[in-house]
Structure 1
């Protein structure tokens, strides 16, 4: 193998695939990155056997070939070089030599044939999604997935591809987030898959402003999913199991609804969380309807026996009767943080029933939070 490419391009490519390389593994070669020529370009690939990322960069290929070298070592070395042309050559003894300006390094490679094959997802249901919509949708659900591996299915995002709509849902037993987004290219048939939350976070990280749409292919036979960008491909294993029937969890009615400005609610929740951290994480909400010219209000309080207490009052359009409910402060912050702007509606039916949070003016996102039981 003999080729040359720009340091900037190689460094970017390694940053893209490097996170997929295994840091600790019973299979040492998975901590390597595959460096190979591929139809006039340089292909970089890494895998931890759960996800595999491949990236193609422009290069001048003089001689075809492939090898694998430690991902961390190569990434750190290339990142420390000046922004200049890099020449790479692989000897018959599997030594990879790299020259850039007045720098030169040699790395001992491992035969590319020993590298785990990167899965090819060619069959299955293929769709396309607008990049901005996809990033927004992932941001609004991924934080609600479980991090505890005791129920592996809840560490994933339930994805339903049906017609021209993709529905993403995440739940961890204490909260549920559901987001619906339009597909730029409709699904040929209905398909359901549970995608690891880590996979969707990684795909979202890889998306750049230059990408307009992302291609997704779901192969339920192989239990794999492919995300395809302009010069990057990510293949992930799907999670096995049955995701909870979450539609039954979403309350269909409410007795009280309060509409408030999201930034003000978020600010009040942040200050309450400072005190809630030492008070079991409890943030209490009281919704009081207005009367005559008096506006309704939403009261947010938190207290710790040792530190003190905090209270904030917000103007709110409250319909229905006065209501009280308590949430885990972190859960409240998480959902308000991803909505962040406009107005938000809080719907409750009582202190022991789930609360529902929705952005006002759109019906494609709903967030359900289980209440905390407190002494009022």
Structure 2
């Protein structure tokens, strides 16, 4: 292998691929990144066997070939180099990577690339998704997934195709829940293969895809590699492969409330600022914040009064004007849960639909039917 690549380009590629590399592994090769010189580009890949991230960068390739090199020291060394072309050459007799950049030169011990896990190509017909729509969907759903591994199915995000859409359009539904909250997002597909599609993807995988989507303009390809129980996402210069989570995802439609007794429409920004302020006092009381919701009378607008009390720090309250329909209600929430969904919503106004102080609450952006969130209140 004989390659010349820009230092900043190589550093970026290593940063991306290294996110899939474990710090420790029983197989030494898993702590390595794979460098593979192909015509006109350098492939850089990392994997922990559950997740693989592959990126391609333009490079001057004089001789194709490959090697695996310890990821952390390579990334640290390349990051410390000057912004000049980096020359990479592999000596196959000793599996050593020679690196030259200006007056810097080093030789790093590596391994035969044949020892690296096989990473299948993500080729063929799959779902084509708008990158900005998909990035937004990931942001609005993954935060609701569980981080506790005791119920692995809840650490994933369900992605399924919805049949029978008007005009034959293809719509995907994404859903995540952790037992206390639920996020559901629908998004259209630009292109779709034939047949049913339903997979459970680790939320952590989708978060990595979301990072790569920033600045992406080309459609994203998503496909299930059925024979390997994997899902793949192909971007313009990167790809992500992930093992799927096996099992039956909960019937989330049964969780979404179908009616309300009290409905609040309020400024998202004003409510988010209030929650951030009250969270300072709520930390010592399990992050509990009480909301007193009062309908308006005559010309007076409705009001949402937020209260938080700490035995050590004191008490704070914030009143926000709102459009309130239905009954007066006192209800409490984990303020962190409120902040999460308010930060995920991009609209100016948000609606809360409630029945009782102990029943699930529906949260949705006003004017955007593609997203719905359900959160359980705390006991008063």
CA distance in 2, matches of 1:208, 1:174: 29
Partner of 2:166: none
Partner of 1:267: 273
Residue-by-residue CA offset, 1:70-105 (whole Å, 9 max, x unaligned): 011111111111111111111121111111111101
CA distance in 1, matches of 2:288, 2:55: 46
Question: Counterparts of 1:73-84 in structure 2 under 5 Å?
Answer: 73-84=73-84
CA distance in 1, matches of 2:350, 2:26: 48
Partner of 1:295: 301
Cα contact 1:299–1:314 (8 A) shared by 2: yes
Select the residue among 338, 342, 348 that pairs with 2:354.
348
Partner of 1:219: 225
CA distance in 2, matches of 1:181, 1:334: 21
Partner of 1:151: 151
Question: Counterparts of 1:132-171 in structure 2 under 5 Å?
Answer: 132-162=132-162, 164-171=170-177
Partner of 1:362: 368
CA distance in 2, matches of 1:45, 1:347: 46
Question: How big is the shift at 1:121?
Answer: 4.3
Partner of 1:40: 40
User: What SS class does the counterpart of residue 20 from structure 2 fall into?
Assistant: coil
Question: How big is the shift at 1:210?
Answer: 4.0
Cα contact 1:257–1:348 (8 A) shared by 2: yes
Partner of 1:113: 114
CA distance in 2, matches of 1:211, 1:32: 30
Question: How big is the shift at 1:187?
Answer: 4.0
CA distance in 1, matches of 2:80, 2:288: 47
What are the ranges of 5 or more consecutive residues in structure 2 without an aligned counterpart? 163-168
Question: Counterparts of 1:46-57 in structure 2 under 5 Å?
Answer: 46-57=46-57
CA RMSD of aligned residues (A): 1.4
Asked whether 1:253 is paired with 2:254, we answer no
Structure 1 stretch 335-344 or stretch 76-85: which is displaced more?
Answer: 335-344
C-alpha spacing 1:318/1:121, structure 2 compared with 1 (3 Å): same
Question: How big is the shift at 1:122?
Answer: 4.5
Residue-by-residue CA offset, 1:226-258 (whole Å, 9 max, x unaligned): 100111111111101111001000000000101
Question: How big is the shift at 1:284?
Answer: 0.8
Structure 1 stretch 221-230 or stretch 151-160: which is displaced more?
Answer: 221-230
Asked whether 1:337 is paired with 2:343, we answer yes
CA distance in 1, matches of 2:270, 2:146: 28
CA distance in 2, matches of 1:350, 1:274: 27
User: What SS class does the counterpart of residue 19 from structure 1 fall into?
Assistant: helix
Residue-by-residue CA offset, 1:261-313 (whole Å, 9 max, x unaligned): 11011111111211111112111111111111111111111112232111111
What are the ranges of 5 or more consecutive residues in structure 1 without an aligned counterpart? none
Question: How big is the shift at 1:161?
Answer: 2.3
Cα contact 2:132–2:213 (8 A) shared by 1: no
The runs of at least 4 aligned residues of structure 1 exceeding 3 Å deviation read 120-123
User: What SS class does the counterpart of residue 179 from structure 1 fall into?
Assistant: strand
Question: Counterparts of 1:50-65 in structure 2 under 5 Å?
Answer: 50-65=50-65
User: What SS class does the counterpart of residue 228 from structure 2 fall into?
Assistant: coil
Residue-by-residue CA offset, 1:170-212 (whole Å, 9 max, x unaligned): 1000000111111111342221100000000001111231433
Structure 1 stretch 306-315 or stretch 35-44: which is displaced more?
Answer: 35-44
Partner of 2:165: none
CA distance in 2, matches of 1:190, 1:300: 45
Partner of 2:99: 98
Structure 1 stretch 101-110 or stretch 209-218: which is displaced more?
Answer: 209-218
Question: How big is the shift at 1:5?
Answer: 1.6
Cα contact 2:43–2:54 (8 A) shared by 1: yes
CA distance in 1, matches of 2:340, 2:216: 28
